[in-house]
A and B are shown apart, each in its own frame.
Chain A
Amino acid sequence: MRRYFARKVAIYLLTFFVAVTLNWLIPRFMPGDPVLRMLTRTSVSNPDAIAPMREYYNNVFGLDVPLWRQYLNYWAELLQGNMGISVWLFPAPVTEVILDAVPYTLALLIPSILLSWYAGNKVGALAARRKWLDNTVLPLGYALTATPYMWIAIVLAWSLAIIAGVFPVAGGYSFDLQPSWSLVFFNSLIQHWFLPFLSLFLVAFGGWAIGMRNMIIYELEADYANYLEALGAPRRLIRRYAFRNALLPQLTGLALQLGVLVAGALVTEIVFGYPGLGRLILMAIQNQDFFLLQGAFLFIVIGVLIANFVIDIVYVLVDPRTRTGMTGGAA
Chain B
Amino acid sequence: MNESPAYFDEMLQPDGGPRGPYAQYYDWLRKEEPGRLLEKSAEAEALFRLTGITFNVYGDPSEAERLIPFDVIPRIIAGREWVKVTKGIEQRVRALNAFLHDIYHRQEIVRAGRVPAHMIARNAAFLPQMIGVTPPGGIYTHIVGTDLVRTGPDEFFVLEDNARTPSGVSYMLENRETMLHMFPELFSKVKVQSVSQYPRSLRRSLSACAPQACEGRPTVAVLTPGIYNSAYYEHAFLADQMGAELVEGHDLRVVNGRVAMRTTEGYKPIDVLYRRIDDDYIDPLNFNPDSMLGVPGIMDVYRAGGITLANAPGTGIADDKAIYSYMPEIIEFYTGEKAILNNVPTHRCSEPEALKYVLDNLADLVVKEVHGSGGYGMLVGPAASKAELATFRAKLAANPDHYIAQPTLALSTVPILTDAGLAPRHVDLRPYVLVSPDRIEITPGGLTRVALTEGSLVVNSSQGGGTKDTWVLEE
Tell whether A pairs with B.
Answer: no
Residues of A participating in the B interface, judged by any CB pair closer than 8 Å? none
Residues of B participating in the A interface, judged by any CB pair closer than 8 Å? none
